Each structure stands twice: as structure tokens, then as C-alpha cells.
Amino acid sequence: MKIRFKNKKQAALSHFFKDEHRVIIKEKTLQGYYSYTLFNENLHEITVNENQVEETDSDMSDMIQRNDLGYGREFYINEFIIKLLPLQPGQFISTRSLWVAGKLVRYFEKYDYEIPDPYKERVLNENYKMNLIEGFLMAVNPYMERKFKGGNYFESFELYKGKAMSEIELKINDSLNELDRKDYKNLLTNFIEKALHDTHDNEVHSKNFSSTLFFLIDSLFVYDITRIFSYKTFYDDCFVIEYQNEYYYLNQFWWG
């Protein structure tokens, strides 16, 4: 489905410059009219009312009806987007989220959107994302370490790119096991939460930190990951992700 703005000057103020635009969500509002969500030239999502636009292409064959996402009201969403982003009722799509912006790259490629340079520099820039993770870990590691205050044993996280699994030479008591890629999200989340857990009163903070770290790491992977592994040595407990022939190690190591 595609629409055209009736007022082109007003549309330009929201960075819509083309003659027509693809709809990603069509939904019925509480007031009984339809609204449309679409991406502007900056790839920011904008929602407009039906009185602001006119349909130029009514074909909805690439959309799926999901009234559960609209609290029972008519709700249609692009089928490919819902595969990339498993949304919950009331949840918004926002490319201001680095994770969401990365997952939507495949949608933009499929429908031949022009990806602007600022988007590429943020969403497709691995160094930028690795630096974000490093900065986050600089804050999280002291949070982990305070659990061991007064002792000679501490735990920390680090993320780095390392050797291919085929290049690792196991020493005595080392272990290397391939994990089920289909359970990647749960396995990685559990791995993070196991190290970030805290006292009962502070557990809500641990959950938030764990969720943020998961989404920062997962934002590195615009396309499908290939395999995942558990790699352990005396000092290291690594969750390893194979992606485009490179290996990303989230290492929970101890020292002291």
C-alpha cells in the first residue's frame, strides 16, 4: 500500500519529498478513522491521519492483519517487518532505537529505500556500536565488582572479536561446545543475567542492565548469525557468536 500527501509543503516539513510513500502500518483509531505509519527520507517513522493523504496503491498483499497489536481494532502491518520485529500490543516502532534501526535495515533493502549517510554512520558502523558496548561495560563492571567487595575475587565482562573456533587449541580443563542457534536470545540473556544478578532489592536494576547489554550486543548483527558457542578456560567463560565469518566473544572473566 502506498499513499500521497495532499499538502506537499507540509509533507516536506516532515522530510517527505517523494510523490508517494509505502505504508508499513494501517490502523483504525478510537475515533473511527484510519491512520498510516510510514518512513520519511531520514528513515524516521511518522504517523499521519487519513485526511492528510490519499491512497495511490491499495494493494495490501504484503501486509498482515494483526488486530491483537491494536487492542482489537483493525491493525495491518507489513508482514516482513513483523518477522524482523516481533512486536507486543501497544509497542511502537522507532528507528531512534539502535536495535530497531538495525533490524529494519533488511526491510529498507528489500523495498529499495535509500539509506542516508547519518543512518549508515550510526546503524551500520560496527566501531560505533562496539564503542557503545565498551562504554556500557565500563559502567556495568563496577556494579558487578561491588558484590565481591572485601574479597580477593572479582568478575567482569568484556566484549571483543577473537579467533575462529577452528583455531582454538584446547588446554587441560578447557571446553568448547556449540549451542543451539535457535535458542540464541534466551541463552545469551541467561548468560548475561547470571553474572549481573544482584540482591533481591536490586534485582530490577540487574534485569534492566542485562536487557540493555543484550540489545547492544544484538545490534551488532544486522543479518542472521551463523552459530553460537560456549568456550571456557580457567579464567574465562565466553559466549561466542559467529557472524559473517567473524567471532564475537562476550567474556565473563574472573580476576584477583
pLDDT digits (tens, 9 = 90+) for 52-76: 999 999 999 999 999 999 999 999 9
Q: What's the confidence (pLDDT) of residue 89?
A: 87
Q: What residues contact residue 69 under an 8 Å CB cut-off, 6+ apart?
A: 75, 77, 87, 88, 89, 90, 91
pLDDT band at residue 150 using 50, 70 and 90 as cut-offs: low
Structural domain spans, the chain:
2-121, 126-255
Exposure string for 120-142, b = 16+ CB within 10 A, e = fewer: eebbeeeeebbeebeebbeebee
Q: What is 200-237 written as a DSSP string?
A: GGGHHHHHHHHHHHHHHHHTT-SS---EEEEEE-SSEE
Q: What residues contact residue 100 under an 8 Å CB cut-off, 6+ apart?
A: 85, 93, 94
Q: What is the pTM of this model?
A: 0.91
Specify the DSSP element, H or E, that contains 155.
strand 154-162
pLDDT at 148 over 80: no
Q: What's the confidence (pLDDT) of residue 77?
A: 97
DSSP E strand boundaries for 8-136: 21-28, 34-39, 45-49, 53-57, 63-65, 75-78
| Percentage of residues of the chain with pLDDT beyond 70 | 95
Q: Report the residue count for the chain.
A: 256
pLDDT digits (tens, 9 = 90+) for 190-231: 999 988 876 556 666 778 889 999 999 999 999 999 999 999
